């Protein structure tokens, strides 16, 4: 039986942040600026609507410990599955923080308004502690004075949502954070659409990322550490197509590796 695309190890990509300097966005002397983005590792649901109420960053120089990051008004409903295969939602504008060190980031969700849509039917999505302690992401990064930092939060929906024995849907969120230097990328196309492929990025024995291609076969992994990956194209069993593995795909910090088009065939 083929390995389920739900088995995803995403936390291994939680790594260094990068600092970019730009005259038009430079921070006041002694401070740093941070801008947050949200993206998603896709899953086989019709939609996943999240009711986000805030983002907070733990800054070692703040007496309060947690500092609120001002977020933009979100679409209602906000379907996280709209932001996959490299598409991102800009959570807010660059915001000035004291030069210090980020220890954690947390995403705060409202208690109600979170839904998962399966086969056209909407179900309540229970998120334990989402509105109190928040969904915490470890992210250890020094903020250099004058630096501008872009940080992406990557929501692994496939691994985060579970159906209980009584049919309820629960979210035990799996998120990672990455930045420009740690944002190694792999992109390409897989054909034909009839294979209903799922694509895995594998290092050693670990699947570190999984994506579902778009209708035209396009896929993109983001937030990858530098290194060598085996890219596995897994067809749905019932289609009769043969799986393909492309070994030794190299990723460099901050760069995109294009492996172009992979075609699956029937035996």
pLDDT at position 262, please?
96
Residue 63, pLDDT score: 67
Beta strands in 110-167, from DSSP E residues, in sequence order: 115-118, 121-126, 135-142, 148-156, 161-163
Indicate if the pLDDT at residue 7 is higher than 70. no
Owner of token pair 């194209």: 233
- pLDDT tens string 41-90: 767 889 999 998 899 988 766 666 788 999 998 887 899 988 887 788 99
At 175-197, the pLDDT tens digits run 888 876 567 889 999 999 999 99
Residue from 175, 200, 181, 180 nearest 190 by CA: 200
**Measured CA distances, 17 to 40, 102, 125, 179, 183 (Å):** 19, 10, 31, 5, 9
- Over 50: is that where the pLDDT of 19 sits? no
Token reading at 5: 């695309």
Q: What is the mean pLDDT of the chain?
A: 80
Q: Which residues are paired to 211 by β-bridges?
A: 199
Q: Are 209 and 231 in contact (CB under 8 A)?
A: no
| Helix, strand and coil percent figures for the chain, each rounded to 5 | 5, 50, 45
What are the tens digits of pLDDT across the range 226-259? 899 999 999 999 999 999 999 999 998 778 899 9
């Amino acid at each position: 039986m083929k390995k389920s695309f739900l088995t995803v190890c995403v936390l291994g990509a939680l790594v260094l942040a990068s600092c970019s300097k730009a005259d038009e966005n430079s921070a006041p002397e002694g401070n740093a600026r941070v801008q947050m983005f949200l993206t998603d590792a896709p899953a086989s649901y019709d939609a996943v609507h999240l009711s986000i109420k805030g983002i907070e960053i733990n800054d070692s120089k703040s007496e309060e410990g947690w500092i609120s990051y001002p977020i933009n008004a979100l679409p209602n409903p906000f379907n996280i599955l709209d932001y996959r295969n490299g598409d991102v939602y800009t959570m807010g504008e660059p915001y000035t923080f004291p030069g210090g060190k980020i220890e954690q980031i947390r995403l705060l969700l409202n208690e109600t308004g979170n839904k998962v849509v399966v086969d056209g039917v909407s179900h309540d999505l229970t998120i334990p502690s989402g509105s109190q302690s928040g969904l915490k992401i470890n992210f250890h990064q020094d903020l250099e004075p004058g630096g501008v930092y872009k940080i992406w939060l990557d929501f692994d929906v496939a691994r985060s949502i579970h159906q209980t024995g009584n049919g309820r849907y629960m979210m035990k969120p799996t998120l990672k954070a990455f930045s420009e230097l740690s944002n190694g990328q792999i992109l390409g196309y897989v054909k034909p659409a009839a294979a209903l492929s799922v694509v895995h990025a594998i290092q050693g024995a670990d699947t570190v990322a999984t994506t579902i291609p778009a209708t035209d076969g396009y896929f993109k992994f983001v937030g990858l550490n530098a290194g060598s990956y085996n890219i596995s194209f897994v067809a749905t069993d019932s289609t009769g197509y043969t799986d393909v593995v492309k070994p030794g795909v190299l990723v460099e910090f901050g760069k995109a590796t294009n492996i172009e088009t992979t075609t699956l065939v029937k035996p």
